[in-house]
Amino acid sequence: QGILLTLVYLVYFGILVLNYQLGRRTENVMRIVLYVLPFFALVGGMSLCWLFPMLSRYSNTIIGTIKTTLAATLAHPFKSLMMTALMIAPFLILLLTNWGVPILMTIGLSLCGYLRVMLYDPTFKMLERVRDPEEDEEDSEEDTEEDAEEE
């Protein structure tokens, strides 16, 4: 599923780039596209940050995963924007500095990943509480029964 979803996002971004190039070459109504496409690119990039955590956390279809990533992106825009910045930061450090390589090799990539997890983990915990309150009660009852049997 991950490979197929990556291909879907590559096609999505390819279409955006193609539309941007076509919009730059025309002088009519297509010029409006130049102002709309960065928004769609930003939303696509922000939803890409939610894609693989959603894919690894929940079992879902490809279309369902895309829908939930878009819903999470639109429901939590600040977190999504911060996760996108954390995803892009290592590449910007590499492009703009000469001293960035040793720092990125030691703590940079893992620190950015850890900070992204800190951003989306509370959201997942909230979704699981909202999604399965009855399962939580059943699990806690089973745990107390198992603890009583062990004693």
Range name among 15-29, 59-73, 134-148 with the lowest pLDDT average: 134-148
Main-chain dihedrals φ then ψ at residue 124, nearest 5 degrees: -65, -40
Q: Identify the burial level of 40 via C-beta atoms within 10 angstroms of its C-beta, where 0-12 means exposed, 13-18 middle and 19 or more buried.
A: middle
Do 113 and 87 contact (CB within 8 A), yes or no? no
What pLDDT score does 49 carry? 87
Cβ-contact 115, 86 below 8 angstroms = yes
Residue 151 clears pLDDT 70, i.e. is over it: no
Predicted local distance difference test score (pLDDT) of residue 100: 76
Residue 133 has pLDDT above 60, yes or no: no
CA atoms of 120 and 127, how far apart (whole Å): 11
* Across 21-25, average pLDDT: 78
pLDDT in tens, 56-104: 888 888 888 888 888 888 988 999 999 999 888 888 888 888 787 887 7
Predicted TM-score (pTM) of this structure: 0.69
| Structure confidence at residue 106 (pLDDT) | 79
Banded pLDDT at 13 (limits 50, 70, 90): very high
| 18: its two tokens | 């193609």
